[in-house]
Amino acid sequence: MTGISRALVVAAAIGVGAPSFAAEVQNRQFRGSDPSDTYYMVTFVSGVEYWVAAFEGFKDAAKQLGVKAVYSGTPEYDLNKQMTVFDQVVSKKPAGIALSPVDQAGCSEGVKAAEAKGIPVVNFASTTDSVPVAYVTSDNVKEGQFAARTLARELGGKGKVMVTRNTQSNHQRRVDTFVETMKKEFPNIQVVADVLTQQDTNKAYTAVLTVLQKHPDLGAVFSPEGPSGRGAATAAVEKGGKVKVLTCDMDAAILQMIEEGKMFGSIQPNAYVQGYLSMLALFLAHEKLLDPLNAVASTPGAFVIGLPYVDNGLDLISKDNAKYFYTDKWLQRRGSKAFEPWPAPRS
């Protein structure tokens, strides 16, 4: 039994509906009970490539389960706009919502309100202060540690580094862990700047140029997301290309930079698996496929599963393997279109 399978079995003890439904559970197949059930994915900065793979995984799971999948979100990095979209989705009474929240605290009440209406919510990539049915992500602590150790090795264990950050919860954890790991494990490496760029390429570009004026011997930059990573790498190239930039996530521009040696590398969470597991968790909660041995069976409307953390894994993109990560080529091989719902609309 895999780690995820064990987690699902253990988590089954969280709750179910009424005891009378036990016989139905035992006879159910792993297939949607209503083919019209629609599950939504809601993101922010909705056009970035990261979400493409996440929704492909979400959509594949929906196909296999016999339900519908729709992508939604706001193109801005804006809490109010994302929650407006989220509330609109809730009003459609979906079977479940996979939400990547732009703000940990700001999205919490919306998640609570949706679940109070019987709509299961899974957080993925980033999370909320409320407790969703599941939180699917890569291990952001391990990402921060890996980033610190990788750059420290490249710098020979000494030198100066800087970080960019934003207020997204998982990105904060990556950066905080990176800084802590450097201080604890590499005392000869100094973190000389910690700059809030809020996933803005231009802000990251300016920040790196500013830090280089004060610290011309800067050795490396760590950015927890792609837009800031691109800006940092552009600035580094303009100043001679000696600063090693390690980012997270990827798009075609980042991959090209890595292949051309303009960026050191990128840590890429497995977004496809993230979306796939998010759909599975929502499906289990909505369909109430589990009948655990506990007293919660007497609680009507309780969700059947609770997964506080599921790790979707990650990859390190380097000059040697960047060619395998181009989203457009991957979609072409799959015969799919970015963000196309399932079932696809008839032409």
- Asked whether 223 and 245 are in contact (CB, 8 A), the reply is yes
Q: What is the pLDDT of residues 38-86, one digit of tens each?
A: 999 999 999 888 999 999 999 999 999 999 999 999 999 899 999 999 9
Q: CA 184, CA 284: separation in Å to the nearest integer?
A: 41
Q: What is the pLDDT of residues 286-329, one digit of tens each?
A: 988 877 777 665 666 678 788 888 999 988 999 999 999 999 99
Q: What is the pLDDT of residues 137-189, one digit of tens each?
A: 989 999 999 999 999 999 999 999 999 999 888 899 999 999 999 999 999 99
CA 330, 121, 145, 187 dihedral sign is positive
Could you tell me the two tokens for 178?
Answer: 């990176």
Q: How far is CA 135 from the centre of its chain?
A: 10
Could you tell me the two tokens for 314?
Answer: 């990650």
Query: Span 224-229, mean pLDDT?
Result: 94
Q: Give Dmax (Cα) for the chain.
A: 71
Q: How far is CA 54 from CA 124, 139, 195, 276, 329, in A?
A: 9, 16, 28, 7, 16
Mean residue pLDDT across the chain? 90
What values do phi and psi take at 44, rounded to 5? Answer: -125, 170
**Domains defined for the chain, CATH in brackets:** 3-138+270-313+322-333 (3.40.50.2300), 140-268 (3.40.50.2300)
- Give 284's contacts (C-beta < 8 A, 6+ positions apart): 8, 290, 304, 305
Residue 101 has pLDDT above 50, yes or no: yes
Q: CA 8, CA 4: separation in Å to the nearest integer?
A: 6
Q: CA 219, CA 210: separation in Å to the nearest integer?
A: 14
Could you tell me the two tokens for 54?
Answer: 């996440």
- Asked whether 166 and 225 are in contact (CB, 8 A), the reply is yes
CA 163, 169, 174, 176 dihedral sign is positive
What pTM value is reported for the model? 0.81
